[in-house]
């Protein structure tokens, strides 16, 4: 089985991201991270995962992206296609997944620290769980071990704290209804009302007070959507660190520099 990968590389309408402004580019996804545009890094790792077949980049401004070496090569080979972004993230997922072969893996263009091995791990665990939909999570202690400044807030469950890896799974076209999990960018830690809107008030109360394990809460959410939604715990805390702002940009460059130095 091969999986279709969606790489979300959209931008907010009429807003120039601060990192893009600093780098002198038109959109955040092409900001160089340790000398390499972040979406280029993500595409290389996605393409390097042997579980993944077709790759789709969903973007509002594709011109800059299409010119990147790895992207251009994969387009020429027929493995990668560009798809237009919609008004918001969830609608962009629906548009990007139209006509795709399922299952579908969804990641973001700022996930610079997720490796090919990380994507393989996520896919294997989602398949083993029989998930209709899934979200990648990393343990608080693993994220802090990767870098103490990597994340400031965590989802707190009865069985510990976790951070979102911005990596998602849709096992079938019907399960796309669970894409509501990413409405408004998935920033549920900062905006708890979004949990209530997506998952229901009772689940928000359970979540807020840490009543139950992550598995129990996902089970309750599964009942709301009518699909089996699973938490996928990743082995490496760095997978939960994406490039959101200057702090996480600096953290990401620091981790990548250490890895490059270690590899010689």
59: nearest Cα among 100, 19, 109, 106: 109
Whether residue 238 is predicted with pLDDT greater than 50 in this model: the reply is yes
- Fill in the DSSP letter of residue 213: -
Mean pLDDT of 88-106: 89
Tokens of 205: 């109360």
Degrees, nearest 5: CA angle 69-72-73: 85
Distance CA 155, CA 158 (A): 10
Give the H or E element holding residue 156: strand 155-157
**pLDDT at residue 178, rounded to an integer:** 63
Q: pLDDT band for position 188 (50/70/90)?
A: very low
Contact 109, 6 (CB under 8 A): no
pLDDT in the model for residue 203: 47
Closest CA to 165 of 192, 183, 140: 140
**pTM (2 decimals)?**
0.86
Number of structural domains found in the chain:
1
Question: What is the model's pLDDT at position 202?
Answer: 43
Going by C-alpha positions, the residue among 185, 254, 168 that lies closest to residue 12 is: 185
Tell me how far apart the alpha carbons of residues 22 and 33 are, in angstroms, rounded to a whole number: 12
Contact (Cβ atoms closer than 8 angstroms) between residue 93 and residue 173: no
Residue ranges of alpha helices (H) inside 200-245 are 201-209, 214-225
CB contact at 8 A, 134 and 97: no
Residue 226: which CATH number?
3.90.550.10
Closest C-alpha to 75, from 57, 59, 92: 57
DSSP state of 22: H
More confident residue, 244 or 202: 244
The predicted pLDDT at position 205 comes to 44
Lowest mean pLDDT among 65-74, 122-131, 166-175, 248-257: 166-175
Where in the sequence is the domain holding 95, given as residue range(s)? Answer: 3-263
Q: Return the bridge partners of 37, or none.
A: 32
- 3 state DSSP class of 33: strand
pLDDT of residue 264: 72
Other Cβ atoms less than 10 A from the Cβ of 237: the count is: 22
The strand pair at 160-170 and 155-157 is best described as: antiparallel
């Amino acid at each position: 089985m091969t999986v279709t990968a969606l790489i979300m590389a959209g931008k907010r309408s009429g807003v120039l991201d601060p990192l893009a402004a600093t780098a002198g580019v038109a959109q955040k996804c092409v900001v160089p991270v340790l000398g390499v545009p972040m979406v280029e890094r993500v595409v290389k790792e996605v393409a390097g995962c042997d579980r993944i077949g077709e790759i789709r980049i969903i973007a509002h401004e594709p011109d800059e992206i299409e010119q990147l070496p790895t992207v251009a090569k994969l387009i020429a080979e027929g493995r990668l296609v560009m798809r237009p972004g919609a008004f918001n993230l969830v609608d962009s997922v629906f548009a990007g997944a139209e006509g795709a072969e399922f299952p579908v893996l969804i990641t973001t263009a700022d996930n610079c620290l997720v490796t090919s091995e990380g994507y393989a791990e996520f896919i294997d665990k989602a398949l083993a769980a029989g998930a209709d939909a899934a979200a990648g999570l990393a343990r608080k202690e693993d994220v802090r071990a990767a870098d103490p400044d990597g994340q400031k807030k965590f989802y707190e469950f009865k069985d510990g704290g976790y951070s979102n890896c911005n990596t998602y799974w849709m096992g079938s076209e019907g399960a796309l209804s669970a894409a509501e999990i990413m409405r408004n960018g998935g920033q549920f830690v900062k905006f708890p009302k979004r949990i209530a809107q997506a998952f229901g008030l009772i689940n928000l109360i359970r979540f807020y007070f840490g009543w139950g394990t992550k598995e129990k809460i996902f089970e309750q959410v599964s009942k709301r959507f009518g699909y089996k939604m699973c938490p996928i715990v990743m082995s490496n805390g760095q997978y939960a660190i994406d490039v959101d702002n200057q702090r996480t940009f600096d953290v990401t460059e620091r981790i990548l520099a250490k890895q490059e130095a270690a590899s010689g």
